[in-house]
Amino acid sequence: MSKKHKHDTPEEMKNPQGEASDCGCESDCCSEDVMKELGELKEKATHFEDLFQRKAAEFENYKKRIIDEKEKHRVMANRNLVMEIFPLIDNFERGLKVAEQTKDFDGLLKGIHITIEGLHSIFERFNVCPIESVGKEFDPNLHEAIMMEERDDIELDMVVLEEFEKGYIMGDIVVKHSKVKVGRKKRPADTAKDN
């Protein structure tokens, strides 16, 4: 038994497929075309990478601008509200000064009522409305129950009986919940204890 060993010749090593090559000119042309195409693709890749980086930077700058603009709008809105309140503070200070000098507490009380009306007028301009609570059904979206009171009248179950602090709504948004006392139907005495 003899094994045949095939030894590759240098010609076969260059062309392992055994394909005939005439003079190598065609492969040189193909190689140049491939290299040229590869260079063009690298240029395109570099171009698109640069474009992507520029767009990413532009987007980051855009996000920062939007955040800055939102903050400026918030500050301006707050500034407008504060500017409306300054005259009311001035009125309070003048009223206190006059009341201390003249001991005219009826005048002070009248001034406080006028100032509160001024505050409500400012609230109206900023679309801030008080929440009507007393006699209304308790709504956890509008009210904060800080007290419950048992009642015999079933009609007063889960109805706001008293308002301790007024709540306010701005458009559709609750800016301050009303703090209220809520009625609750009296529960029957626990008969299980008696048995």
pLDDT per residue over 5-62, tens digit each? 555 554 544 544 545 445 555 666 778 888 889 999 999 999 999 999 999 999 999 9
75, 99, 126 — which closes off a domain?
126
Q: Is 173 contained in some domain? A: yes
169 and 156, same structural domain? yes
104, 126, 148 — which closes off a domain?
126
Instruction: For 117-157, give the DSSP string.
Output: HHHHHHHHHTTEEEPP-TTSBP-TTTEEEEEEEEES-GGGT
User: Containing domain of residue 122, as a range?
Assistant: 25-126
At residue 191, does pLDDT exceed 80? no
> Distance between CA atoms of 182 and 134, rounded to whole angstroms?
9
Both structure tokens of 67: 């955040």
Distance, first Cα to last Cα, the chain: 110
State percent of the chain over pLDDT 90: 42
pLDDT per residue over 93-148, tens digit each? 888 888 888 888 888 888 889 889 989 999 998 899 999 999 999 999 999 999 99
Tokens 């195409």, residue?
Answer: 37
117 and 150, same structural domain? no
Q: Is 194 contained in some domain? A: no
Find the CATH number of the domain harbouring 143.
Answer: 2.30.22.10
Quote the pLDDT of residue 24. 53
148 and 77, same structural domain? no
Angle between helices 25-102 and 105-125 (to 10 degrees): 160
165 and 106, same structural domain? no
Both structure tokens of 19: 């394909």
Both structure tokens of 30: 């193909």
Quote the pLDDT of residue 20. 46
Find the CATH number of the domain harbouring 55.
Answer: 3.90.20
pLDDT per residue over 144-190, tens digit each? 999 999 988 888 899 999 999 999 999 899 999 999 999 998 887 64
115 and 36, same structural domain? yes
38 and 91, same structural domain? yes
